[in-house]
Amino acid sequence: MSLLFTPLTLSSPRGGITLPNRIVVAPMCQYSAVNGEATDWHLMHWANLLNSGAALFTIEATAVLPEGRITPACLGLWDAGTEAKLADTLARARKLAPQTAVCIQLAHAGRKASSALPWQGAQLLSKAEGGWETFGPSATPHLPTEAPPTAMDAAELARVRDAFVLAAQRADAMGIDAVEIHAAHGYLLHEFLSPIANQRTDDYGGSFENRIRYPLEVFAAVRAAFKGVLGLRISASDWVEGAWDVDQSAEFAKRLKALGADFIHTSSGGVSPQQKIALGAGYQVPFARQVRQTSDLTTIAVGLITDAHQAEAILQNGDADLIAMARAFLYQPRWGWQAAAALGGEVAANPVYWRSLPREASAVFGKAATVGVR
């Protein structure tokens, strides 16, 4: 039997969730929100991917504070208005695909906030251009040509930590199954982990123990308030010599497990323009393998995984427990169906689509799909 189509249970303090397969839709920024609020684009996007055959769909990086958005068009969950719009839009999408579990990635962009849309250059926006004050562990800009962020003081550290907690509670109230804290891709929590962005001289900077302190405090605070499935996404390597690397990531994962983490999602890069990424099929899978072996945490692998047999081999090799994809699902929103056809698995989908499969793939929806077809 295909491991990709074998169930897996993500445990949590209140019992967890059982996924019918190991396919995850990774979070993908859509840059389509208005003042942090979800729009009809999100309704279309979410409903589409909830019918993808994946067992778990992850909502894009969702800012816990307005200044934590990457761009002015990023999704948020920081007040009653953003909560109400997200809850209503998600409820409408889930009515069309109730079989799929939902995770939300909670984020703060740190010094990479206040940026233009990707197709508008993705550069830091000035206040005259609609930007805002940014915050980071240190007054060290992402690019030397950019204005430096404001170094966070004790009050700001507490405010952001509490915002993560409140956003997780809001997500829980709307029935979201899992929360993923974003500590990757050069955003705020990753900035604390990396010596490239973290130049502090207090208890939150310098040594490994100090650099992991604030991300662990945020995670612990969310864990205390949220009893559902909770994990964290990391950049396992900065791809810069002498910076954050996979050995530190693996040790960090052990600390997360001790605090009650239910999973870890291993990505890489994003904190420095000096990064030298060795791109290739499954290029981040070795990071997932080392983190998994060291921490014994349920591990999600991601990064140029596009083929069903490739995904199956990663699981068979013991490199990861779950397979996440992003761009592959944008290009082929029914990737899960195709993988089931290739590997002899089954997926759940809205019966409206049951008759769409070619004859050779008719087993993808199981026996139920043939009932009542005329």
Q: Tens of pLDDT along 327-350?
A: 999 999 999 999 999 999 999 888
Closest residue by Cα to residue 70 from 32, 120, 26, 115 = 115
In this predicted structure, the answer to whether residue 369 has a pLDDT above a threshold of 60 is: no
**Is 192 a member of any domain?**
yes
> In this predicted structure, which of 64-78, 140-154, 342-356 has the lowest mean pLDDT?
342-356
d(C-alpha 295, C-alpha 297), whole Å: 5
**Is 275 a member of any domain?**
yes
For 124-139, how does the pLDDT look when each residue is reduced to its tens digit (9 = 90+)? 999 999 999 999 999 9
CA distances from 188 to 8, 24, 151, 159, 320 (A): 31, 24, 11, 13, 26
Q: Can you tell me the mean pLDDT for 247-259?
A: 98
**Is 2 a member of any domain?**
no
In this predicted structure, the answer to whether residue 122 has a pLDDT above a threshold of 80 is: yes
Helices (H) and strands (E) in the chain, counts: 11, 12
Cβ contact 158:120 at 8 Å: no
d(C-alpha 328, C-alpha 297), whole Å: 25
**Is 299 a member of any domain?**
yes
d(C-alpha 256, C-alpha 128), whole Å: 41
Whole-structure pTM value: 0.95
pLDDT score of 72: 98
pLDDT score of 356: 81
pLDDT score of 371: 46
**Is 303 a member of any domain?**
yes
Q: How many CB atoms lie within 10 A of CB 369?
A: 18
pLDDT score of 241: 94
Token representation of residue 13 = 């303090």
Q: Can you tell me the mean pLDDT for 37-52?
A: 97
CA geometry: angle at 206 spanning 222 and 66, to 5°?
40
Place of tokens 């870890």: 264
pLDDT score of 368: 55
pLDDT band at 367 (very low <50, low <70, confident <90, very high): low
Cβ contact 77:170 at 8 Å: yes
**Is 98 a member of any domain?**
yes
Cβ contact 285:319 at 8 Å: yes
CATH number at residue 266: 3.20.20.70
pLDDT score of 374: 42
Place of tokens 């109400």: 84
Total domains in the chain come to 1
Q: Can you tell me the mean pLDDT for 198-216?
A: 98
**Is 30 a member of any domain?**
yes
Query: Which residue range forms the structural domain that includes residue 194?
Result: 8-370
Cβ contact 287:266 at 8 Å: yes
Please enumerate in sequence order all residues whose Cβ is within 8 A of that of 328, keeping only pairs 6 or more positions apart, or say none: 305, 306, 335
**31, 187, 204, 214: which is the annotated catalytic residue?**
187
Active site residue 187: yes
Mean pLDDT score across all residues of the chain: 95
**Is 3 a member of any domain?**
no
pLDDT score of 372: 47
- Helix runs in 262-334, H state only: 285-295, 308-316, 327-331
